[in-house]
Amino acid sequence: MKKAFIAIALLFISTNILKAQKRDIVEYQQNWDKQNIFWGYYLGFNKKDYKISYKTQNAFINVTPLTGFNVGLIGDFNLNKNIIFRFEPGLSSNT
């Protein structure tokens, strides 16, 4: 009885898997990479923490670690198939 149940279960599972493989693949936005100009944006976080020390003197500059944010635009201009001109103006800020 166990062997018959396992055989029927495997047959059922394998037929479902074979049907799933035959579905049509839908490709969305096929020409997205072919556009000449593309605009976007970026957001991010940063942490600025650095220390400058001079070995000849006992004076040093110590900065407390602070977090900030980055925001900016991304512009792509396709000159040809293999050459892309990209510019990324942005703002980086800390308090």
**pLDDT (0 to 100) of residue 8:** 82
CB-CB neighbours of 12 under 10 Å: 10
Radius of gyration, alpha carbons of the chain = 29
- Going residue by residue through the chain (95 aa), what tens digit of pLDDT does each one get? 778 888 888 777 776 666 655 667 677 888 877 889 989 999 999 888 776 666 666 656 667 788 899 999 999 999 888 899 999 999 988 87
Q: Are 67 and 46 in contact (CB under 8 A)?
A: yes
Residue-wise DSSP of 37-82: EEEEEEEEEEEE--EEE-SSSS-EEE---EEEEEEEEEEEEESSSS
Could you state, in order of their start, the residue ranges of all structural domains in the chain?
36-95
Task: State pTM to two decimals.
Answer: 0.51
